């Protein structure tokens, strides 16, 4: 049956998943778009609901042939549910319990402190997955399961184990259990003239590592920065004060990958 009314209970029920409370109460996340649905299939995850327009289903019937039912809605109804102005025709509802479990002994950890921008969060998730990060730890900030973040991550959020902490104290307690890891903060050399700050490529990233990145405006919490064992900088033109956190993360995270490839190449 085709749902044509924006007043259908389905609309409000799924829109509730835009909110952290709705996701927590129902234990579900809302995925928007064909790419995220394809990621669900690739990872072997099992959605509880698939909502699509007749036009989308007609052109993508091969993607849904293993599912017994698809809720059909008009494009107008789909727009009423989605966070995007122009959804491409499909929404997927996925149980949160199917997301990956955080490893107890990570070897490469990314810690994000109070990030606020959904685009930055999604970009960092994608970069972290590409760099081989074992787990993502979050202190406050934007909800990593918000539809906008999930969409910006291009599916990386479905593969990257993550854990959220409500306070600095809670996070610090967990970090104390990772004494074997070097803890890295990004710093501006001019602000730490009494300390030796290395260009990021001079650090040995092959060691067990936790990389800390701070809020877009205020940077890393001083308490978190104080427990870092090393500081690195990304040299750049003086015409720019600082780099966007999503941009800065890329060379840092991928440097570990580069060093490992170089080691393998030199030891063949």
pLDDT digits (tens, 9 = 90+) for 142-179: 999 999 999 999 999 999 999 999 888 888 888 888 88
Specify the number of domains making up the chain.
Answer: 2
Question: DSSP state, 94?
Answer: E
Q: Among 34, 66, 98, which residue terminates a domain?
A: 98
H or E segment and range at residue 189? none
The reply to whether 92 falls in a domain is yes
Confidence category of residue 112, pLDDT binned at 50, 70, 90: very high
Report the pLDDT value the prediction gives residue 193, as an integer from 0 to 100. 46
Mean pLDDT of 184-193: 68
Residue 90 three-state SS: strand
126 and 216 in a single domain? The answer is yes
186 and 159 in a single domain? The answer is yes
Residue 134: which domain range?
108-266
141 and 226 in a single domain? The answer is yes
Report the pLDDT value the prediction gives residue 161, as an integer from 0 to 100. 96
Q: Among 49, 67, 98, which residue terminates a domain?
A: 98
Question: DSSP state, 215?
Answer: B
Q: Which residue has the tokens 């993502």?
A: 136
55 and 146 in a single domain? The answer is no
The reply to whether 130 falls in a domain is yes
For the chain, the average pLDDT equals 91
The reply to whether 103 falls in a domain is no
- Residue 39, pLDDT > 70, answer yes
Q: Among 32, 64, 98, which residue terminates a domain?
A: 98
13 and 121 in a single domain? The answer is no
Report the pLDDT value the prediction gives residue 176, as an integer from 0 to 100. 85
- Residue 243, pLDDT > 50, answer yes
Report the share of the chain in percent with pLDDT over 70: 96
Mean pLDDT of 3-15: 96
- Residue 188, pLDDT > 80, answer no
- Residue 267, pLDDT > 90, answer no
What separation in angstroms does the CA of 121 have from each of 66, 144, 186, 250? 32, 7, 17, 13
């Amino acid at each position: 049956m085709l749902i044509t009314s924006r007043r259908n209970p389905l609309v409000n029920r799924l829109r509730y998943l835009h909110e952290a409370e709705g996701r927590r109460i129902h234990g579900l996340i809302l995925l928007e778009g064909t790419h995220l649905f394809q990621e669900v299939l690739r990872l072997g995850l099992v959605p509880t609901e698939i909502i699509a327009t007749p036009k989308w289903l007609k052109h993508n019937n091969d993607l849904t042939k293993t599912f017994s039912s698809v809720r059909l809605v008009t494009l107008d109804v789909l727009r009423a549910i989605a966070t995007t102005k122009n959804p491409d025709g499909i929404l997927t509802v996925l149980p949160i319990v199917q997301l990956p479990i955080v490893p107890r002994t990570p070897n490469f950890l990314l810690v994000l402190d109070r990030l606020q921008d959904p685009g930055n969060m999604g970009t960092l998730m994608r970069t972290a997955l590409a760099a081989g990060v074992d787990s993502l730890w979050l202190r406050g900030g934007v909800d990593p399961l918000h539809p906008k973040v999930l969409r910006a991550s291009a599916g990386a959020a479905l593969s990257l184990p993550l854990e959220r902490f409500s306070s600095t104290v809670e996070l610090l307690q967990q970090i104390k259990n990772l004494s074997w890891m070097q803890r890295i903060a990004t710093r501006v050399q001019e602000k730490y003239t009494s300390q030796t700050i290395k260009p990021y490529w001079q650090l040995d990233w092959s060691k067990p590592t936790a990389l800390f990145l701070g809020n877009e405006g205020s940077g890393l919490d001083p308490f978190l920065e104080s427990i870092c064992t090393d500081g690195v900088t990304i040299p750049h033109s003086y015409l720019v004060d600082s780099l966007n956190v999503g941009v800065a993360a890329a060379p840092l995270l991928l440097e570990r990958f580069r060093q490992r490839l170089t080691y393998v190449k030199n030891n063949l």
